[in-house]
Amino acid sequence: MANRNRNVPTFRKIRANDFLALSIHTEPNSPPSFTTRTGIPVTLIEIVGRVVSLQRTDETLTFHLYDGSGNFNCIQFLHQHPESVVTREIAIRQAELVEARKQVQVFGKIGLSPDGALQLIGCSVMVEEGPNVETLHILGCMRQAEREYRR
């Protein structure tokens, strides 16, 4: 049985088509929560994709990743922010390496942008050079899906 406690962080490797299909649940006086198509709550995700657009400011790094199934909207805060879990120095160092067309692995929290769209709030952003990173990520997603649908 899936853990339905909203306060327990749940982690998933995910592809864009599943990310965009997440259900958003809002309740008064609490942050939104998110569930998969099968109703499993999820708060932390890992994605891998190519940077297709990039915008840097003094406060944020905003970028879109394409993973073959769709686009992710990602943001990494470069200053102390309530949504940020890494230090400013680490965030700036990670953001300096991100460039268009590079393959990036992002671990972060699911959130909503100011216009209400799903976005990934980056906790860890790593440029990946290995040729098998994307393939291994896809296999990890498939293993998770297989376990989930067996329940």
Condensed to tens digits (0 to 9), the pLDDT of residues 75-108 reads 998 887 676 667 888 888 999 999 999 999 999 9
Number of domains comprising the chain? 1
What residues does 64 pair with on adjacent strands?
53, 73
* Residue 118 falls inside a structural domain: yes
Above 70 in pLDDT, residue 34?
yes
Angle formed at CA 126 by CA 120 and CA 92, multiple of 5 degrees = 80
Above 60 in pLDDT, residue 1?
no
* Residue 83 falls inside a structural domain: yes
* Residue 133 falls inside a structural domain: yes
How far is Cα 20 from Cα 77, in angstroms, rounded to an integer?
22
Condensed to tens digits (0 to 9), the pLDDT of residues 45-75 reads 999 999 999 999 999 999 999 999 999 999 9
Of the ranges 3-7, 56-60, 107-111, which one carries the lowest mean pLDDT score? 3-7
For 49, the domain range is: 11-150
For residue 124, CA distances in Å to 4, 6, 21, 53, 99 come to 26, 23, 23, 18, 15
User: Kind and range of the H or E element at 64?
Assistant: strand 60-66
pTM confidence score: 0.83
Reduced to 3 states (helix: H, G, I; strand: E, B; else coil), residue 137 is helix
* Residue 135 falls inside a structural domain: yes
> If you ran DSSP here, which 8-state letter would residue 58 be given?
S
* Residue 2 falls inside a structural domain: no
Check which CATH number belongs to the domain holding 30 and give it: 2.40.50.140
* Residue 72 falls inside a structural domain: yes
Reduced to 3 states (helix: H, G, I; strand: E, B; else coil), residue 133 is helix
Above 50 in pLDDT, residue 116?
yes
How far is Cα 130 from Cα 113, in angstroms, rounded to an integer?
31
Reduced to 3 states (helix: H, G, I; strand: E, B; else coil), residue 2 is coil
* Residue 1 falls inside a structural domain: no
* Residue 41 falls inside a structural domain: yes
